Amino acid sequence: MPPETTKAAAGEQYWQSIDQWMDSTQFETLMKNEFPEDAGEWLDPVSRRQFLTVMGASVALAGGGIGCNPSLKPAPAKKAVPYVKQPDQLLPGVPLFFATAYAQQSGVGLGLLVKQTEGRPIKVDGNPNHPGSLGSTDIYAQGSILSLYDPDRAKEAKLSGKSGGYDNFVTSIKSELEKQLGKQGDGVRFLTEPSTSPTFIALLDEFTKRFPKAKWVQYEPISRDNARKAIQAAFGAPANVVYKLDKAKVALSLDADFMVSGPGAVRSARDFMKNRKVRTVKEAIANGEGIPVESMNRLYAVETMLTSTGAVADHRLTLKPSQIPDFTKALAAKLGVAGVTAPALTGLAAQWLEPLSADLLAAKGAAVVLVGDQQPAAVHFLALAINEKLGAFGTTVTFTEPIETRPTDLNDLKVLTDDMKAGKVDLLFILGGNPAYDAPVDFDFAGALKGMKGTKVRLGVYEDETSFDGQCQWFLNASHYLETWGDVRAFDGTVSVQQPLIAPLYNGKSPLELLATLLSYGINDPLELVQATWKKFHDATVKGADFEAWWQKCLRDGVVPGTAMPAKTVAAVKPAGEVLADKAFAVPAAKPGLEVQFRADPTIYDGRYANTGWLQETPKPITKLTWDNAAIVSPATAEKLGVTNAFGWTGGENGRTIADLAKLTLDGRSIENIAVFILPGHADDAITLHLGYGRTHAGKVGTGAEKGAQGPGFNTYVLRSSAGLWNASGADLVKKSDTFHLACTQGQYLMESRKPARHATVAQFKADREFAQVPPASAAEYKELRELTPGTVEDFKRLGFKHPYEQHHDSAHGTEHAAHEPHDKRMVPLSLYPTNPSTVNGVEASKSYRRWGMAIDLGACIGCNVCVMACVSENNTPVVGKETVTKGRAMHWIRVDRYFSIPGDETQSDSLGAANTSDAYRAGQVKRSDSIRTHFQPIVCQQCEKAPCEVVCPVAATIHSADGLNDMVYNRCVGTRYCSNNCPYKVRRFNFIQYSDYSTESLKLLNNPEVSVRTRGVMEKCTYCVQRIRNAEMETEREFDKRKVAGKTDKFGRPKIMDGEIVTACQAACPTSAITFGDLNDDSSAVLRAKAEDHNYGLLAELNTMPRTSYLAAIRNPNPAMPKGA
């Protein structure tokens, strides 16, 4: 055993896993391991088969390719196939961007800008014109491009499981509809997901006009029924809530993960986090890059499961699901909402009330309470009442007319299922969704569907649980949203026209086409259908203007002007006593036993993305699990239940968590085996279950190669009944003797205890703006280290700062830093690694050429992983599969590290008072769910100016470019992996085997042609999106004369790449704009302003690697009046 353990680094502050916190011997050994074990094998059974195929192919290539072609030509002869008539605007090699939108929860749209090269869409980004996006996206939008090319998509229309032909379907269904005419469509039912599409709704209206007794049922498993019900009750009319979070000073989240999930989340994250990016540079504040520390907002979170929102909250209270309504009632009563009887609160919750209500009241008019969709209607109603009391209406909370034409109601599905069972349904159309998998278990929709006598028609992208093996007589393959025309409303009602980026790959049909065909509408073309809707709107509102020009502008902008829903003045909230007395608002009392809450999965949502490998492999923001869900419990509850999470020979949370399996019973239904995952910060005596896993007919990724087998994870829908749609109580969890391997990426790539993620409270920041310049573990000197984070003395001066190096040697500055004297000045130039040898015009390149750098604001990071998804999509990152992830070989170039910390008992400050390092003390601390602090830190290649990886490469496959990029040359790489060994940041990824899919035809279309697809045996890593840099550079350089005339030259006289012309993929996708990228030698660059901040620090800068990437330490804004240690 090594003499010094990680614990010895007094008061280890940040930890990623309980093992690390407890500092077990096993963990110690693992950390010393360079790579997890099993480095040379691929155990994934499905993948192994594929691997053999690929190996076979490579042998064939070696024999046939080189053997039969003695010419050794570097590239095989190719064909050049030009167009017959080249389309307008299209230039081969120059990508085009099209605005479109996609819809997810409740049919609410997110505006997108999709990049298309040579006719194939390859990358999704946000549309800056769209109110819901403002240029950013969520992970689902990023993943949707992969689902377009998914080889498992349904490819033809089928009748009873065999090729049916769409035309045959039309003839046969039309004759059935004729028969229905006499019954006024009494036996016709439509089951769809909620839609906001004006065209779709118009068509359905037309249908119901012709068949007045036909019924339209909407169902989605992640519904917003409770919020809707509360609004209806509070105002007597439906309304749509639009939050203005940029105006919020104090916010309380009641189990609302409002920055990551739900309609408008991308916008909410932008608006809310805007006021948490602390800046002191005046220009930065003037440019809206941040706010002065005084203007920082404050966030309180009350929740069961630790969420991204809870993780960034200033104060967090963990409550069981059943306690949240009580807490809300008590708070409402405290704030003076009439007619609410305050239940008695205990523990920390009781201590919260006083300071929380005072803080909310003090911010009257700028306070807001947000409630999660899964909370009971009573909580939603109380939040409305509280918001009214806080004067939030009209400021932070505004109302518009509802965006959905017809509200969903779960009862509709119940009625439909009963009708199906009673034989009342002759003709059922299921358009989209997957109700046989995700309907409440007590409805037995799957059974009703199987037993139904009438004709069943399903339109779906996959032959899933609802339509496999001819379950529905007619299966029609649907088109993807990137293949067809449509329209969709944003969270505020703004309409985007969805335009196709590619012709339907498998001739799929959209719901619009299907409905129009059924109606014999005259036009079937989705474009004409959508255009007809907007022609009407145009003629009514714009009048006189040229429709074609207006239409083209709508398509180009991605939004239809004037479609945002008009603001609505709402009546006063009805008296609480009256509303809460209603049976519909009753909150059932919790039964004894464990409580369970159901939530959409953070990456595969309700299960619809189960076959999207990118999303399966993206670590979930908090648990960092991939490819699985689990029953998530707190450490204290785990102890009570006797379940443990061990870590085995490939490293516990080091990639592989060996979790106990357990039997989970709820209301007489049970899951025989479910893995239990222990998460610090989860509420005690409660279990969080994520939905969407255990799919049986999702495809090769979401289910596996075997048909009908159960896919990764555990199907939790089997416990979800209509009575306990979100929360249930009286659950029983019994540990079994078996264990299960979970692929959890956190713990991989540890940087030992070197304070990677730094943070402070507002008070600490005010006292010492340089708090982030903490003494590193291995170097005695620290002030000098900022010299090592790029940014010159002159740059700092111009921005009104003293450069830290200078400051430090300023004798007048004096006493404060006296403790750190004397300084060993040799530390500064001293480095193990050579300086970039590149010179430009005879001067060191970093002083005479473009100097790319990145700053990441940890205070703005919400850990949502969109950057990871965007990087995967931009850089052709392969999916490796669960088994490979457990070995620490996920190929992501950017990862978001999640750290926990526990503040000391008596202090609110963010420094650890944990001098006591006994195991018992530590074991106790980890159970303090309310005190667990969570920190996110996105890690990319730090592009060191003195790069440790470069010196050890025997073949110079990784070397510096003049502009300071640490270039990775795949063709030189021979796979020694020395560079990875020597990288202190652990950002290098090695292709142990052929991960990239070279064989699937449809996936070839997905690749970004600007980035090499890497083969086996090659090291890879973040390039700062070098393809984007080079393209911008070439565009700038080739118009050098024009730029010169326009005065766009840099300080060296070269044509200037303007700040913001290069946007990395992660930066573009980030909802909170936490990432800044630019030229450090450009005086006016945003990245230089960010780096001039006193709380900017270089990661492991004490190693003198001079990282080009740096971090702005997170600043939190706790309320001094809150109870200590919370």
Binding residues for another protein, rule: CB under 8 A, are 71-86, 91-94, 838-841, 845, 849, 959, 961-963, 965, 967, 969-971, 1010-1012, 1023, 1026-1027, 1030, 1034, 1037-1040, 1054-1055
For residue 211, the one-letter residue type is F
Please identify, using beta-carbon distances, which residue of 739 and 1015 lies nearer to another protein. Answer: 1015
Q: How far is the CB of 136 from another protein (least distance, A)?
A: 25
Please identify, using beta-carbon distances, which residue of 95 and 343 lies nearer to another protein. Answer: 95
DSSP symbol at 1100:
T
Please identify, using beta-carbon distances, which residue of 421 and 972 lies nearer to another protein. Answer: 972
DSSP symbol at 775:
P
Q: How far is the CB of 963 from another protein (least distance, A)?
A: 8
Q: How far is the CB of 68 from another protein (least distance, A)?
A: 15
Q: How far is the CB of 1044 from another protein (least distance, A)?
A: 8
Identify the three-state secondary structure at position 112.
strand
Q: How far is the CB of 957 from another protein (least distance, A)?
A: 9
Dist. CA 653–CA 213, nearest whole Å: 57
Phi/psi for 934 (5° steps) reads -120, 140
Please identify, using beta-carbon distances, which residue of 226 and 966 lies nearer to another protein. Answer: 966
Identify the three-state secondary structure at position 546.
coil
Phi/psi for 572 (5° steps) reads -65, 145
Dist. CA 426–CA 447, nearest whole Å: 16
Please identify, using beta-carbon distances, which residue of 349 and 941 lies nearer to another protein. Answer: 941
Dist. CA 748–CA 1007, nearest whole Å: 27
What distance lies between CA 898 and its chain's CA centroid? Answer: 14
Question: Got the DSSP string for 1027-1041?
Answer: HHHHHHHHHHHHTHH
Q: Are 391 and 229 in contact (CB under 8 A)?
A: no
Could you tell me where the beta strands, DSSP code E, fall in 892-957? 895-901, 933-939
Please identify, using beta-carbon distances, which residue of 882 and 960 lies nearer to another protein. Answer: 960
Q: How far is the CB of 954 from another protein (least distance, A)?
A: 16
Please identify, using beta-carbon distances, which residue of 74 and 182 lies nearer to another protein. Answer: 74
What distance lies between CA 1113 and its chain's CA centroid? Answer: 22
Please, which residues bridge with residue 659 across strands?
Answer: 645, 740
**Structure tokens, 356:** 């929380």
For residue 107, the one-letter residue type is G
Q: How far is the CB of 83 from another protein (least distance, A)?
A: 4
Please identify, using beta-carbon distances, which residue of 202 and 951 lies nearer to another protein. Answer: 951
Q: Are 590 and 259 in contact (CB under 8 A)?
A: no
Please identify, using beta-carbon distances, which residue of 626 and 943 lies nearer to another protein. Answer: 943
Q: How far is the CB of 1040 from another protein (least distance, A)?
A: 5
Please identify, using beta-carbon distances, which residue of 208 and 1000 lies nearer to another protein. Answer: 1000
Identify the three-state secondary structure at position 663.
strand
Question: Got the DSSP string for 35-74?
Answer: S-S-TT----HHHHHHHHHHHHHHHHIIIIIIIS-TT--S
Query: Residue holding tokens 């979170």?
Result: 301
DSSP symbol at 839:
E
Q: How far is the CB of 1026 from another protein (least distance, A)?
A: 5
Please identify, using beta-carbon distances, which residue of 156 and 844 lies nearer to another protein. Answer: 844
Please identify, using beta-carbon distances, which residue of 566 and 1053 lies nearer to another protein. Answer: 1053
Name which of 915, 1110, 1015, 1072 is nearest 312 in CA terms: 1072
**Buried (b) or exposed (e) across 129-157, using 16+ Cβ within 10 A?**
bbbbbbbbbbbbbbbbbbbbbbebbbeeb
Please identify, using beta-carbon distances, which residue of 911 and 1015 lies nearer to another protein. Answer: 1015
Name which of 508, 502, 487 is nearest 116 in CA terms: 502
Q: How far is the CB of 1090 from another protein (least distance, A)?
A: 24
| Nearest-5° Cα angle at 679, 927 to 7 | 65
**Buried (b) or exposed (e) across 254-280, using 16+ Cβ within 10 A?**
bbbbbbbbbbbbbbbbbbbbbbbbbbb
